[in-house]
Structure 1
């Protein structure tokens, strides 16, 4: 037991540290029997265990003396080359010096926010949006404004109207606009080609940066990859992605791509160190031997089957009582209930029945989104997905009956 002296005064902690509520009932508990449709995590069967084991051994045996030092061995430079080459598939043509490796894409969001935002600057986001990014922008003491999405992603006409109105009335315009163009978290939708071009045009015209978070880009089940927003305005976009969804989240490696000026500024936040050079060495050794296209095809086969299982179960147990877009990739299905539903009111009952999900209000910066819910089809197998959706329906209809 910690003893606090009687004369100890309250300490004035930094106000920038946000009070973050727990995200989803299941994530605050260690119950192992719950079906976690709240978990936006990869399926553990997708991790290339044998290949990672061989890569880690190779990193130790052949590169260990350098790989375990601060600067690392050859792995970091190999990864920069590999990422630059792979990015050409998204019409991103950059030199390796324009790539910054980070501890997952979350750190890249943080470094970009610290580079682009001063306290009081405005950041615009989608509604709904990824709550991890919202937390980062709030910690940066940004003023947040949100704009709706639809089946084609962020509604750029509303963004344009707001920009023009702000200029006309002398109100602030954003320093940063955060968007997820492919298989949106939580919306599951992708930004249309026309809207990608429009956002790029607006960023150049109004002189703000777009933070393009493309974590799920490789997980495309049917769709052809569209060009990145970056490709239309490389001088005003920072592009982010990650190995968390394609190799494993535990390796904690993501990256940012931008102009040399932006990347050099973001790099200063490492204070002379780098994102785990040993993890970089392992991933480099892995990618030298792993047939990556076959690996991605395996992932997408599993996730496509999981998505189909979830869509089938939703239609079976909810019928027309819920609406959703069938995602063409990624991890998530975004449910929309009728106007008078508040999904936060049956989160606990669903959890007690044996399934977790995340209610919609968690994904908005304003007090809205009560009738929405996010389900993840990535973490569980098809049978558990089916059973989890049934338990969710039981909780929902019990809520409706009790209203």
Structure 2
């Protein structure tokens, strides 16, 4: 499983609350590591007004366990929004969770018995891998390419397991849009193929669609859920589009799955007062205009990152340019001690994530993940320059040792 069992989320948290803050050593630190949205894009005034309205208009209900009208309205908004991805659902098909992470964890607890198989992409989201490990799953990974998960290899494994009496997966976990960390999309043909396999072999697909709204230059692809709603558990979140601190996500699934998930959530509403606030916010903003502004900002930051990588690294690296999401997965063409590079870069004031954290058993994969959304364009320029300095120093030191 990822790195080590004590892998800490706050390893990549900003060391100061402000963009461009300084570390304890007085270094202006650049964060190209964890997947944070840009703080300057938060709807501070609009959220303050929504909170005021939620308190004065519906506080007598919203502050109780069941919540006020917002707990229905927010699910209606999610259902309406899902139609752009060909998701047909009603508010009663939707469970609000404390972010996508709780939805992943609850799914694992509902479906996995110790020893059950869960199949994932390689690479995959490290927190999801950790959740499956905690639930007792035997995790198996399948490679990806520029079109996402190689579903043909999944099909071969399913056929082999069936013919030889092997274990089939309880579910397959996929991130079809702007994959974390790979940045690629699962093609429509592969979405259909994977859906057909789920129906044929009677397993679930856990569709983590956290980055679906962060897209730059393409139309919205149909969700895997749209092809096999009875076999797909769909997860979304407000963390990437409103702010992770509100801790609201959602699950769309069949009634049996949602019933069991509610048991693990102790049957109560998830933060009903915050649901009231966000429901009010969504009713009073031009959401698509807001999202377009967000995406325009992020595509500009991505372009700067790619330009600076080309300037400092040239053809020594390769990557798939993402058309959305938060991340760029960079692979070094020559063998690099990535752990040493990450540590040296941190000393120089830029944080990145070692690619091995996204693979089973901490595989040495010669990759780093960069986040282009949190830091400003100027900070990204500083960060890539410092990363290049660390890379050159390490190459020089390695060359001297070999001599």
TM range, normalised to the smaller chain? Answer: over 0.9
Which residue, 126, 135, 154 being the options, matches 1:131?
A: 126
Normalised TM-score (structure 2): 0.93
3-state SS, counterpart of residue 144 of structure 2: strand
Shift of 1:347: 1.0
- CA 1:82/1:23 → structure 2, altered by over 3 Å: closer, same or farther? closer
Shift of 1:348: 1.0
3-state SS, counterpart of residue 230 of structure 2: helix
Residue 103 of structure 2 corresponds to 108
Distance in 1, Cα, partners of 2:120 & 2:318: 23
- Superposed, 1:138-177 pairs within 5 Å as 138-177=133-172
Contact 1:210 1:238 in 2 (8 A): yes
3-state SS, counterpart of residue 366 of structure 1: helix
Residue 250 of structure 2 corresponds to 255
Residue 279 of structure 2 corresponds to 284
Distance in 2, Cα, partners of 1:351 & 1:165: 45
Shift of 1:247: 0.7
Distance in 2, Cα, partners of 1:27 & 1:102: 22
CA deviation map 1:261-310 (0-9, x unaligned): 21122112121321100000000110110110111011101111111111
Gaps of 5+ in 2: 17-21, 399-403
The answer to whether the aligner puts 1:63 opposite 2:58 as a matched pair is yes
Residue 20 of structure 1 corresponds to 6
Residue 303 of structure 2 corresponds to 308
- CA 1:24/1:152 → structure 2, altered by over 3 Å: closer, same or farther? farther
Residue 88 of structure 1 corresponds to 83
Residue 221 of structure 1 corresponds to 216
3-state SS, counterpart of residue 374 of structure 2: coil
Distance in 2, Cα, partners of 1:399 & 1:145: 34
Which residue, 234, 238, 244 being the options, matches 2:239?
A: 244
Shift of 1:19: 2.4
Shift of 1:397: 1.7
The answer to whether the aligner puts 1:293 opposite 2:288 as a matched pair is yes
Gaps of 5+ in 1: 1-17
Normalised TM-score (structure 1): 0.93
CA deviation map 1:89-109 (0-9, x unaligned): 110001111100000010000
Distance in 2, Cα, partners of 1:273 & 1:307: 40
Residue 19 of structure 2 corresponds to none
Greater Cα shift, 67-76 or 19-28 = 19-28
Contact 2:35 2:374 in 1 (8 A): yes
- CA 1:22/1:399 → structure 2, altered by over 3 Å: closer, same or farther? farther
Contact 1:105 1:255 in 2 (8 A): yes
The answer to whether the aligner puts 1:358 opposite 2:357 as a matched pair is no
The answer to whether the aligner puts 1:375 opposite 2:370 as a matched pair is yes
Residue 317 of structure 2 corresponds to 322
3-state SS, counterpart of residue 66 of structure 1: helix
The answer to whether the aligner puts 1:208 opposite 2:194 as a matched pair is no
Shift of 1:114: 1.2
Contact 2:329 2:369 in 1 (8 A): yes
3-state SS, counterpart of residue 346 of structure 1: helix
Which residue, 380, 384, 388 being the options, matches 2:383?
A: 388
Shift of 1:367: 3.9
Distance in 1, Cα, partners of 2:314 & 2:140: 34
Distance in 2, Cα, partners of 1:251 & 1:171: 43
Distance in 2, Cα, partners of 1:89 & 1:107: 25
Number of residue pairs matched by the alignment:
386
- CA 1:57/1:27 → structure 2, altered by over 3 Å: closer, same or farther? closer
Residue 344 of structure 1 corresponds to 339
Distance in 2, Cα, partners of 1:184 & 1:341: 24
